[in-house]
Amino acid sequence: MNAPAAATADAAGRAPAPFKEVWLISLGHGLTHWYPATFYLLLPIIGKELGLSYTQIGLIMTMQHAVGAIFNIPGGILVDAIGYKGRLMAISLFWIGFPYLLMAFTHSYWMLLACMVLIGIGNNLWHPAAISTLGQRFPERKGLALSFHGMGGNFGEALAPLIIGALLAVYSWRSVVIVNLIPGLVMAVALLVYLGRMNLDHDSGRKKRTQTWTAAAYMAQVKSLFADRALLLISLCALFRTGAQSALLTFLPLYLTNNMGYTLAGVGVALFTMQACAFAAAPIAGYASDRLGRKSVLTGAMFMTVLVVLAMALASDSSWVIFLVALLGFFMYATRPVIQAWSLEAAPASMAGTVVGIIFGLQAVGAAISPWAGGIIADAHGLRATFYFLTGLMVVANVLVLFVPTKR
Per DSSP, 348 falls in state -
- Give residue-wise pLDDT tens across range 361-373: 788 788 778 888 8
Q: Are 156 and 33 in contact (CB under 8 A)?
A: yes
Q: What is the mean pLDDT of residues 304-312?
A: 87
Domain coordinates of the chain in residue numbers?
3-206+220-402
Residue 317 binned pLDDT confidence (cut-offs 50, 70, 90) = low
Could you give the CA distance from residue 341 to residue 286 in angstroms, rounded to a whole number?
8
Could you give the CA distance from residue 306 to residue 243 in angstroms, rounded to a whole number?
13
Tell the CATH topology of 3-206+220-402.
Answer: Growth Hormone; Chain: A; (1.20.1250)
Q: What is the mean pLDDT of residues 38-48?
A: 82
Q: Are 119 and 262 in contact (CB under 8 A)?
A: no
Which of residues 208 and 183 earns the better pLDDT score? 183
% residues pLDDT > 70 (the chain): 82
- Give residue-wise pLDDT tens across range 275-286: 788 878 878 887
- Amino acid 318: pLDDT: 65
Q: What is the 3-state secondary structure of 15-65? A: CCCCCHHHHHHHHHHHHHHHHHHHHHHHHHHHHHHHCCCHHHHHHHHHHHH
Q: List the single range of 214-223, 247-256, 368-377 with lowest mean pLDDT.
A: 214-223
pLDDT reading at 201 higher than 60: no
CA 190 to chain CA centroid, Å, is 21
pTM above 0.85, yes or no: no
Could you give the CA distance from residue 212 to residue 138 in angstroms, rounded to a whole number?
24
- Amino acid 215: pLDDT: 65
Arithmetic mean of pLDDT over the chain: 77
- Give residue-wise pLDDT tens across range 135-160: 777 776 777 777 788 778 778 877 88
